[in-house]
Amino acid sequence: MNYTLHQLKVFIEIVEKKSITKAAEALYLSQPAVSIQLKNFQDQFPIPLTEVVGKRLYVTDFGLEIAATARRILVEVDRINHKTHAFQGKLAGKLKLSVVSTGKYVMPYFLSGFLNENSAIDFSMDVTNKQQVVNHLENNDIDFALVSVLPKQMDLQHIPLLRNSLYLVGGTERVEQRKGKKALIFTQGPMLFREKGSATRNAMETFIDKRNLKSSKKIELTSNEALKQAVIAGIGYSIMPLIGIKNALLNKEMTVIPYPGLPIETEWNIVWRKDKKLTPIASAFIDYIKEHKAEIIEQHFSWVDDF
């Protein structure tokens, strides 16, 4: 046996994705490169690890056993690396975050300095909707989450970061051509919504329902970026967080429409379970946020106060 750690990582990705193409995408490798690694790995075993039936890739029972062992090997390799860094006086280990989708415009700025100072940290951030973030917190899958509305059903610690303002917006060309009362924007639509489970959608629906402004034309999009592009293209109007549309506003692709009761104001918060025992890395991250929060906001988010 002469397999490499890289081959183990590639094989695990193939097992999890059940596709060479998807594994290649996840690993940022070409499909031929992944196929070669799989072949070289397979050549070291007399029993098939995978099989192709009807153009679909299946992992054999033996392949599943090898994958389980490979995962344990890689965990031990991680521990060796972390222990090495720890003896060198460096923070080492894993830091896991779950972030609501619009939070991707916020969280990187509060992470970059910390990660650059502690290069031995293995970091992962899942960008998803609020419901999935709550699930990650409930299942204790993560160290921290970034949300704009605190989940009420959980006992959490939190650090407020900056305000989150949601405005009524439309594509500039469509707004300039619009006629009639502003209420018609909602009732005649089309109104563009995020998917169910999104905090932005919940805030938007609450605002509309309280004012009885329900539209007969509703379009749903499953990411903030897709929603932004649809608004810019003139497909319809939406209520969107300011943090994600800065460049579109500056480029005059999108226009804020003043409307009574808007903007909706919430606040971005780093949250974690009160009963969670924080790792040294997690504790160091909280200390970093507390110490550097003001300068990060001043450097990267002072423009928010201009609206």
**pLDDT score of 39:** 93
Print burial letters for 71-92: b (CB count within 10 Å at least 16), e (below 16).
eeeeeeeeeeebeebeeeeebb
CB 46 within 8 A of CB 60: no
At residue 170, the pLDDT reads 95
**What is the average pLDDT value for the chain, to the nearest integer?**
89
Give the type of residue at 20: I
Give the Cα separation of 139 and 134 in Å (integer): 9
- Cβ–Cβ under 8 Å, residues 231 and 170: yes
Pairing of strands 144-147, 264-273: antiparallel
Q: What is the residue extent of each domain of the chain?
A: 5-87, 93-162+267-306, 164-264
The phi, psi pair for 269, rounded to 5°, reads: -135, 135
Share of the chain above pLDDT 90, in %: 61
Give per-residue pLDDT as tens, 39-51.
999 999 999 999 9
- Is the backbone peptide bond immediately before 48 cis, with ω within 30 degrees of 0? no
- Could you check whether 5-87 and 164-264 share the same CATH topology? no
Q: What is the pTM of this model?
A: 0.68
- Fold classification of 93-162+267-306 is D-Maltodextrin-Binding Protein; domain 2 (3.40.190)
**Topology of the domain covering 5-87:** Arc Repressor Mutant, subunit A (1.10.10)
Range 164-264 classified under CATH 3.60.70.12: no
User: In the chain, which residues have pLDDT < 70?
Assistant: 82, 85-92, 216
For position 89, what pLDDT does the model report?
Answer: 59
What's the maximum distance between 2 C-alpha atoms anywhere in the chain? 75
Transcribe 249-280 into DSSP letters: HHTTSEEE---TT-SEEEEEEEEEETT----H
Residue 90's pLDDT is 65
* Contact partners, residue 94, CB within 8 Å, separation at least 6: 121, 122, 123, 124, 279, 281
